[in-house]
Amino acid sequence: MDWIHLKKLRVECIVGIYRKELKKPQPLILDVKLGIDLSVAGRSGKISTTCDYERVAHEIRLLLRFRRYRLLEVAAEEIAAMLLGIHQNVQSVWLRIEKPQALPTLTKCAAVEISRTRENFPIETEESVFGHVDILLETADAGLYLLHIDKGKSIPLHYHRVMRELEWRVGGQILRNGKRIKKMAPKAWKKLQQHNYENTGKQTAILFCCDVPAFIPEDEILVDPPKSPKKNG
C-alpha cells in the first residue's frame, strides 16, 4: 500500500463536553495518512489519478469548523467516512487528532488515533427526485451524504427549520441558486436560507452534504414557485 501524508494540520474547532469548551474554538492538530495506489500517478503525472492533498486539507478544515463536537472520537469517525466517500481511489484512512488544550496542567495533549477502510463504512443508497443519495455516515449528531444529481435534474428550491447544512461541490457542472459554482465552492446554510441546485452538465454532478442533525425528511421544506399572473379574458 502506498501512502499520502498530511502532517500537523492545524484546525480551530469547537470540541468538548465542558461549558467553557463550547464558548470558542480551540486548536486541533491532525496527522493524516491516505492509503492509495500511487503507481499510475507516478507514471502518468496526472493529478486525476491520485488524491489532491490540498483539497483533502480543505475538506477536513471545512467539516471541523462547521461541526460542534463533544468527542474527538466522533470527529475522527466523520473525517474518515467523508474522505473515503469523496475520494473513491483512497482505500484506507489513518488519522490522529491531538487536542493540546485538553489537560494543560497534566499532559502535553490528549489524542485519538484511528484506522479505517471502506469495509468500515458500507454505503446505503436512497433514490431521490434528482438522482440518488449515498449515506456515508450518520452519527448521533450529524449525517454525511453524497448527493448525485442526474443530467438535466435539479434539487428543488427548499429550506430547513431544524437542520444546519454544509455543502460543497465534488464534481460536475452545477448552478446554485442560478449561479455557476466553480471548484469546491463550500457553503454553510443557516436555518431558513433558501437554496437549490441544477445540473447543467452532460455527466452526473456530485455534492457533499453534512446535515446537523442527521437528515430529517420533514425538514426538507420546498418553496412553491411563484404563480404566473392570470391573464384577463
- Determine the structural domain holding residue 162 and report its residue range: 124-222
Residues 157 and 216 in one domain: yes
227: in domain: no
We report the CATH number of the domain holding residue 83 as 3.30.1130.10
Other residues' Cβ atoms within 10 Å of the Cβ of residue 62? 20
Residues 21 and 102 in one domain: yes
We report the CATH number of the domain holding residue 206 as 2.60.120.10
Q: Determine the pLDDT at residue 102.
A: 74
**66-98: pLDDT as tens digits:** 999 999 999 999 999 999 999 999 999 999 999
Residues 114 and 154 in one domain: no
With a cut of 50, which residues of the chain have pLDDT below it?
A: 233
Q: Determine the pLDDT at residue 233.
A: 44
CA distance linking residue 194 with residue 159, whole number of Å: 5
Residues 100 and 129 in one domain: no
Grid cell at residue 123: 454505503
**153-186: pLDDT as tens digits:** 999 999 999 999 999 999 999 999 999 999 999 9
Q: Determine the pLDDT at residue 129.
A: 95
Residues 113 and 132 in one domain: no
Question: What are the C-alpha distances in Å from 138 to residues 74, 122, 213?
Answer: 11, 12, 9
CB 55 within 8 A of CB 184: yes
Residues 58 and 8 in one domain: yes
Residues 197 and 185 in one domain: yes
Residues 100 and 128 in one domain: no
Q: Determine the pLDDT at residue 227.
A: 57
Query: 48: which residues sit within 8 A by CB, 6+ positions away?
Result: none
Short-list 15, 55, 66, CA closest to 32 = 55
Residues 135 and 204 in one domain: yes
Residue that is last in its domain, among 84, 103, 120: 120
Residues 159 and 206 in one domain: yes
Q: Determine the pLDDT at residue 228.
A: 54
Q: Determine the pLDDT at residue 16.
A: 87
**What's the total number of domains in the chain?**
2
Residues 82 and 177 in one domain: no
Residue that is last in its domain, among 120, 149, 176: 120
Residues 9 and 116 in one domain: yes
Coil, strand, or helix at residue 42?
helix
CB 146 within 8 A of CB 136: yes
